[in-house]
Amino acid sequence: GSGTPLFNINYTRHIIHTMALLSYAVLLIASLVTGTQAFVTPSSVSAARVHVATKLGASEIEILPTLPEPKDISYGEESRKYRRTVYSHDDWRKHRRTDRFIYYLVSMGSSGVYKGLAREVSAATAIATVVCLYNALVGGYVDFLGVHHDAILSSPSLIPAGLPLAPFTLSSPSLGLLLVFRTNTSYKRWDEARKNWGMNINHTRDLVRMANAFYDAKSVSEERREDDLNTLALCTWAFVRSMKRHLSPEDEDEADFQAELYDKLPAQQAQCIIDAAHRPNRALQDLSVAVENLPMHFMRKNQVQEAVTIFEDNLGSSERLLTSPVPLFYSRHTARFLSVWLLLLPFALYEPCAGSWNHIAMIPATAGISVFLFGIDEIATQLEEPFTILPMQAFCDKIYNWCMEIISWKAGDSGIPVASASVVKKSHATTAPTPIEKELQAATVAVNGDYSDSKSRGGIKRFFKRSP
């Protein structure tokens, strides 16, 4: 009761019990936040199986992952390597499974996003614990038997800590809008980067396909044809690989980049790209030269060169994303607003949690709210720079394989008949050429080198004047 001396043995026991229980709650919450590993290697990447041909026949070997085991690293920049996912049908089935909610709840402790917030969540939880303990000391507490005891630290200058909940209720919509805009903007940046690489994938295949189909092999040997198309395919791959290196951290990709270039390209070409101040531009220059060296009609060359221009546009768009973050004052204001809001929230949760034993429910409530709100800002921050979480190396490897496969095809090898040049000329001769066709013929003569004919020069001028 109130007449018991300050250092009565019963009070001492109650204090010990209360502090032990609060400490246990803090340790429990901390274990949920920091006690498990952030990353678990998925079964699909734990070992990749490839078939190799040997003298004894087809055999199967395991290729172990080159990256260190995720359990050996902490959450941070290194963890972004494990977020470069390329989904297959099996992954989508797992993603859509009906027990995903239970699985995601059980695996919260192993979430890399939540582990990265350990300090912020611990700070908010510690404040909640201090508020709960302080108010128990200055305002009274209830022991394990349900008996209420007066304040241990009774002084007119010591008042219970607390804030009204109304300011947090009024400011929460504004905080929500800031977080929504932050996450939406970051996702749009990730989506644009992914679309840029999607365009690279599409137009590398398109460029090599057109070059293979348009190649005029009538006046060149088969070896010359294979060499020209192989050079074009390698130059196409060299650009996307140089773009990947251009958008990646130097310490992560430089050694692999140089090794791949020396392995696939001629030594002089590889060295020129490596020595260039802007490597993707140098690779695009080589690609343009490779296109111009192909024996085909100049109009078709122009069509192939359009894909090269699209590569430049994708590169510029990606450079813009890499060098221009979401305005820093917006990100910093959002982080400060969120931090102050969550660090002061325990003071406002004390009274609403009065129904729990010694208001202790405010501790897990603060921890849970902090995890989810801090997590929203953390996700936005991780998405803001998209290139180190995009599987760009996988994209480059697939582009290389697809380009090399396309140049291995030949017209007619699938059984589809190929019209000969004489048949094409004969079919064209059955109809009278239109005026624009006549000008195209004149322009072709002029471009092929016959500039002595004034009619040819006039024809090409009129053609380009009338063409859009």
What is the secondary structure of 23-38 as a DSSP string? HHHHHHHHHHHHSS-S
The CA–CA distances, whole Å, from 181 to 28, 340, 369, 465 equal 34, 19, 19, 48
Lowest mean pLDDT among 49-53, 262-266, 334-338, 452-456: 49-53
Average pLDDT over every residue of 404-414: 91
Taking the CA atoms of 106, 112, 118 and 120 in sequence, report the sign of the dihedral they define.
negative
Give residue 187's pLDDT band: very low, low, confident or very high (50, 70, 90): very high
Give residue 85's pLDDT band: very low, low, confident or very high (50, 70, 90): confident
> What is the pTM for the complete model shown?
0.73
* DSSP letter string, 136-168: HHHH-EE-TTS-EE--SS--TT-------SHHH
What lies within 8 Å, CB to CB, of 168 at 6+ separation is: 341, 344, 345, 348
- Degrees (nearest 5) of the Cα angle 91, 93, 96? 110
Give residue 278's pLDDT band: very low, low, confident or very high (50, 70, 90): very high
* Residue 126: per-residue pLDDT: 95
Between residues 342 and 11, which one has the greater pLDDT?
Answer: 342
* Residue 116: per-residue pLDDT: 84
- Cβ atoms of 309 and 136 within 8 Å: the answer is no
272: amino acid identity, one letter: C
Q: Which two tokens stand for residue 116?
A: 């990265």
Q: Is the pLDDT of residue 188 over 50?
A: yes
* Residue 39: per-residue pLDDT: 37
Between residues 166 and 68, which one has the greater pLDDT?
Answer: 166
Average pLDDT over every residue of 444-466: 46
* Residue 444: per-residue pLDDT: 58
Taking the CA atoms of 64, 70, 72 and 76 in sequence, report the sign of the dihedral they define.
positive
Residue pLDDT, tens place only, 341-367: 999 999 999 999 988 998 999 999 999
Average pLDDT over every residue of 147-172: 88
CA atoms within 13 A on the CB side of 400: 18
- Cβ atoms of 350 and 164 within 8 Å: the answer is no
* Residue 452: per-residue pLDDT: 41
* Residue 437: per-residue pLDDT: 60
Give residue 317's pLDDT band: very low, low, confident or very high (50, 70, 90): very high
Query: Residue 88, SS3?
Result: coil
Taking the CA atoms of 243, 247, 248 and 251 in sequence, report the sign of the dihedral they define.
positive
* Residue 152: per-residue pLDDT: 84
Lowest mean pLDDT among 11-25, 123-137, 252-266, 407-421: 11-25
* Residue 158: per-residue pLDDT: 84
Average pLDDT over the chain, rounded to whole? 80
Q: Which two tokens stand for residue 465?
A: 């004047």
Give residue 33's pLDDT band: very low, low, confident or very high (50, 70, 90): very low
Average pLDDT over every residue of 14-41: 46
The CA–CA distances, whole Å, from 373 to 34, 102, 194, 204 equal 17, 21, 26, 42
Q: How far apart are CA 209 and CA 218, in angstroms?
A: 18
- Cβ atoms of 311 and 203 within 8 Å: the answer is yes
Residue pLDDT, tens place only, 210-250: 999 999 988 899 999 999 999 999 999 999 999 999 999 98
Q: Is the pLDDT of residue 463 over 70?
A: no
Give residue 399's pLDDT band: very low, low, confident or very high (50, 70, 90): very high
Compute and round to an integer the Cα radius of gyration of the chain: 34
* Residue 465: per-residue pLDDT: 47
Give residue 185's pLDDT band: very low, low, confident or very high (50, 70, 90): very high
Q: With CA atoms as reference, report the closest residue to 75 among 34, 123, 108.
A: 34
277: amino acid identity, one letter: A
Q: Which two tokens stand for residue 351?
A: 């009274």
Q: Directed axis angle between helix 118-139 and helix 328-349, to 10°?
A: 30
Q: How far apart are CA 236 and CA 286, in angstroms?
A: 9
Between residues 432 and 217, which one has the greater pLDDT?
Answer: 217
Give residue 413's pLDDT band: very low, low, confident or very high (50, 70, 90): confident
**Phi, psi angle pair for 148, to nearest 5°:** -85, 140
Give residue 457's pLDDT band: very low, low, confident or very high (50, 70, 90): very low
Q: Which two tokens stand for residue 375?
A: 């997590």
